[in-house]
Amino acid sequence: MAELFVKSGGAELGLGSEQFAAVLEEVRAKYLPPDARPAAVQEFYASLRIEDLALARACAAGSERAWERFLSRYREKLYDIAGYITKETSSARELADSLYADLYGMSARDGQRVSKLASYTGRGSLEGWLRTVMAQEHVNRYRRQRRLVSLDEENEEGVQFAAAEAQPAVAVEPRLAAAVDEALAELSSEDRFVLAAYYLDDRTLADVARALSVHESTISRKVDKLAKSLRKHILAALGRNGMSRRQAQEALEVDVRDLTLNIRTRLAQESAAGAFPEKKAEASAGDAGG
Amino acid sequence: MEVLPKIVRQRLRSGAKPGAHPQADLLTAFAETQLGDRERARVVEHLSRCEDCREVVFLSAPQPETVQVVGTIPTRAGWLSWAELRWGAAVVCVVVVGTAVTLHRQSLKRPDVGENAASDNAQRIAPSSAPMGTVATARNRNAPAEATVGAASPGKGADEDKSAARLTTAERPSPRAMSARPNLPMQFDRSRQINRNENGLAASAGPGPVSRLAAPPPALLAKAGGAEPRAEQESDQNKKQTLAEASRDTANVSSLNEMVTLEAEPSPAMKSANAGVASRKSAPESTVAGNGTAGASPQTKASPAPAGALTYGLARGEKMKMDSAATKPEARWRLAPGGALQRSWGGDNWESVSVGGKTIPLQALAALQAEVWVGGANGRLYHSADAGLHWAQVVPKSKGKSLAAGIIDIEFSDVQNGKVTTANGEIWTTSDAGQTWQQD
């Protein structure tokens, strides 16, 4: 523990060794079981970003020296990160200032200043943590337009994330839905993540690769392979349920919502009389003569 | 890419709901691959079902110009990078053309050797775009002469660069285009020459002075403009090692300094007694910002030359450091007022270079061939191994401390050994091309 304290540089930041030990114990209790082996505990401590942890906790404790160092290292980075996230200068500044206020501890709980930095546990780098927290704040702001629930608040309250409002139900061939669900259920979490990120979130292959720390070509091959494998699996399941190959392919390709829109478009077309003005003229002349 | 049917997307989106969201610490550790297998699997499972947490992960991912922390080996261009091959091929073409022209002229046995001697010499000289430090090889060795260029070209301006460019072709350059004016007799190898001039000027029939001596930079010779270098026949000069050999051996050719003193008009950038090695080696005109002053006018940095470097003695005692190993043209770098990084291929047109996709006010620059280091405020240190095509940010760390102060000076004596000085007096050194750093 003493060695870790020296390595953290906490003394320079005004953090006492006992304070630091308490922080480590808090982090250990959060991520390791109470009966963890000492070797596992040591390994866990070794994996932490000790220096960043000491800096963050010293800032949370109000150390001026710690804040000076934090500002010199991260103040500008906060704006850069915010700019990258929001892609707009004014929003970026607002986001960065808002986060900075949370980090500094503008809010109080039970009469004590609460700094967001107190929740940093050193599992990742402090800069990475700042990015994540800022991204969460940004997502929260967008979600306020859809739902008024904060991710952090939910975490604190232990409330499960509320589902988004479902799209209006569209009648889907039951056999098709079952075949698709069966195929998706067999996917691994990582495969599902890749498909969701690429097809639902419209992320680039590079983004997905970066998130999973693999090469872009790996993701490219995986996406292609998964899409083909899903199609093959679904067609096979539909075939087992009595559909012919052609029927299965048509069922898979045709989206009922597209058909609905087509019908609406057709219903909104001009009437038949308007389409045949000469007939209309004859009809009018006949009415006038008659 | 295979298209996913809409029904599959719909069912993928409306699958089982995610559980509790992982905290920022876990998401950060996931992004930085710091999680164990079990924790990672739980996080990935959540991310596969939670659109909002996926968005957080992607938004918080580091930007493409990844911060490179100590321990990561910076990417370096190999000896056979495509850019080097291209320039090497261009140089070979120039050499071949020069050889053909020279041999052709030899066969013509022009009588008016005197006034064309200088131009002949210059003609054998490669243009300013030729690699710095390339040395003339003896014509009698069936190798065309090449100029060592970079030394005098800094600050010469477009005119001299253009005149140097003319040298790449087979046409004879105008004596007026040559500006260098040697004021000491140049030693010529007369062993194979047909003397047509009693004054000892090299005849065009034979190998010219460059057959034994490395041709000085074209700008230096250009100063001669009509000057008639006095050639003296000294048999013992034939035994002198040519600059080509010297460059290959990377030996100091101190005798050259005695033999050749050229009154090249130095560029303003060449005022300092010693050229900054790193900046010199990278490009003839690479200029380095003054210490600590963002936006300072480009000044060359003084630093002692490494042992074994070839030197040309110039008028006013200036020394040029030639990277004799270089055989290709290199990018030239400078910091413009305001701290913008600029690059030029050939010295004519300067283009702004964004570092990592954005314009950052820089205060320090060091370049060595394709290796470029730039530094600015708040410890921002960037490195490119491919002449600025790609950049990586480097964060030096030593004894648990990171370099965070403004960088005011960068020096790299070679690819491996470098030194970074900060505004608060810190000195950080590396001996392994930036992989690890020590704070002095």
Residues 15 to 44 of A: which have CB under 8 A from any B CB?
none
Is B126 found in the same domain as B26? no
Quick check: A161 and B20 CB within 8 A? Answer: yes
Residue B413 near residue B400 (C-beta atoms within 8 A): no
Distance (Å, whole) CA B356 – CA B384: 10
Considering the domain architecture, whether residues B150 and B245 belong to the same structural domain is answered as: yes
Is the confidence at residue A134, as pLDDT, over 60? Answer: yes
Number of domains in chain B: 3
B4/A227 Cβ within 8 A = yes
User: Pick from B3, B12, B404: which is nearest to A200 by CB?
Assistant: B12
B425 within some domain: yes
Across the range B224-247, mean pLDDT stands at 48
C-beta atoms of B59 and A135 within 8 A = yes
What's residue A203's pLDDT?
92
Same domain, B225 and B89: yes
Beta strand pairing status for B310-313 and B319-322?
antiparallel
Angle at B87 (CA atoms; ends B119, B414), nearest 5 degrees? 100
CA atoms within 13 A on the CB side of A257: 8
Confidence tier at B30 by pLDDT (50, 70, 90): very high
Instruction: Give the fold, CATH level 3, of A174-267.
Output: Arc Repressor Mutant, subunit A (1.10.10)
Query: A160 and chain B: CB distance < 8 Å anywhere?
Result: yes
Question: Does B230 lie in the same domain as B339?
Answer: no
pTM of the entire predicted model: 0.46
pLDDT digits (tens, 9 = 90+) for B235-245: 555 554 454 45
Q: What is the model's pLDDT at position B114?
A: 46
pLDDT: which is higher, A253 or A264: A253
Establish if A221 touches chain B: CB-CB under 8 angstroms: no
Nearest by CB to A155, from B7, B23, B51: name it. Answer: B23
pLDDT at A152 (0 to 100): 61
Residues B107 and B253 in one domain: yes
pLDDT (tens digit, 9 = 90+) per residue, B124-162? 444 444 444 343 444 444 444 444 433 444 444 445 444
In a domain, B53, yes or no: yes
Q: Is residue B72 part of a domain?
A: no
Is residue A272's pLDDT more than 60?
no
Domain assignment present for B31: yes
Whether A7 contacts A51, CB under 8 Å = yes
Subunit contact B62:A128, Cβ cutoff 8 A: yes
Q: Which residues constitute the domain of residue B245?
A: 82-259
Pick from A124, A143, A227: CB nearest B25: A124
Q: Which of A128, A154, A253 lies at the smallest CB-CB distance from B21?
A: A154
CA–chain centroid gap for A166, Å, is: 18
Find residues 374-413 of chain B whose CB sits inside 8 Å of chain A: 378-379, 400-402, 404-405
Instruction: Supply the mean pLDDT for chain B.
Output: 65
Q: Cβ contact (<8 Å) for B25 and A120?
A: yes
The DSSP H or E segment spanning B428 is: strand B427-430
Q: Would the pLDDT of A228 be above 60?
A: yes
Do the Cβ atoms of A201 and B51 come within 8 Å?
yes
For range A28-34, the mean pLDDT: 90
Task: Give the pairing of strands B341-345 and B401-402.
Answer: unpaired
Task: Give the separation between CA A286 and CA B57, rounded to whole angstroms.
Answer: 73
Beta carbons within 8 Å of B27's beta carbon, 6+ residues apart: A132, B43, B53, B56, B57, B60
Q: Are residues B210 and B88 in the same domain?
A: yes
On the question of pLDDT at B378 being above 70, the answer is: yes
DSSP state letter for B217: P
Q: Are residues B29 and B108 in the same domain?
A: no
Is B292 found in the same domain as B214? no
Instruction: Reply yes or no on whether the pLDDT at A132 is more than 90.
Output: yes
Give DSSP secondary structure letters for A24-45: HHHHHHHHS-TT--HHHHHHHH
- Taking CA–CA distances from B1, the nearest residue in chain A reads A224
Q: Which residues of chain A neighbour B404 with C-beta distances below 8 Å?
A: 69, 72-73
Q: Sort A156 into a burial class: Cβ within 10 Å, 0-12 / 13-18 / 19+.
A: exposed
Whether B98 and B159 map to the same domain: the answer is: yes
- Weakest mean pLDDT among A39-43, A138-142, B325-329: B325-329
Tokens 């205060």 belong to which residue? B363
Mean pLDDT value of segment B98-127:
64
> Does residue B70 or residue B352 have the better pLDDT?
B352
Residues B10-22: tens digit of each pLDDT: 888 887 777 889 9
Query: Would an 8 Å CB–CB cutoff place B357 in contact with chain A?
Result: no
Name the one residue in this structure whose structure tokens are 């919502």: A257
Domain assignment present for residue B230? The answer is: yes
- Same-domain check for residues B90 and B238: yes
- DSSP E strands in B189-234: the ranges are 231-233
List CB contacts (< 8 A) between B381 and chain A: none
Query: Tell me, what's the pLDDT at B128?
Result: 43
- Closest Cα in chain A, distance from residue B90 (Å): 34
In this model, does residue B196 exceed pLDDT 90?
no
Cα angle vertex B391, ends B414, A214, to 5°? 115
pLDDT of A90:
83
Does any domain span residue B303?
no
Report the pLDDT value the prediction gives residue A204, as an integer from 0 to 100: 93
The reported pLDDT for the residue numbered B256 is: 42
Q: Which of A49, A123, A125, A180 is the best residue to mutate to test the B interface, defined by the most B CB atoms within 10 Å of its own CB? A: A123
Asked if residue B67 belongs to a domain, the reply is no
Q: Where exactly are the structural domains of chain A? A: 2-157, 174-267
pLDDT tens-digit profile of B385-433?
988 888 899 999 988 888 988 898 999 988 889 999 998 888 999 999 9
Q: Which of B11, B45, B61 sits opposite A181 (nearest CB)?
A: B11
Does residue B217 sit in the same domain as residue B291?
no
Residue A177: how many CB atoms within 10 A of its CB?
A: 14
C-alpha distances in angstroms, B224 versus B288, B300, B318? 30, 26, 18
Please tell me whether the interface predicted TM-score (ipTM) of this complex is above 0.95.
no
Asked if B61 and A210 come within 8 Å (Cβ–Cβ), the reply is yes
Beta carbons of A172 and A180 less than 8 angstroms apart: no
Asked if residue B313 is part of any domain, the answer here is no
Higher pLDDT, A177 or B116: A177
Name the more confident of B262 and A231. A231
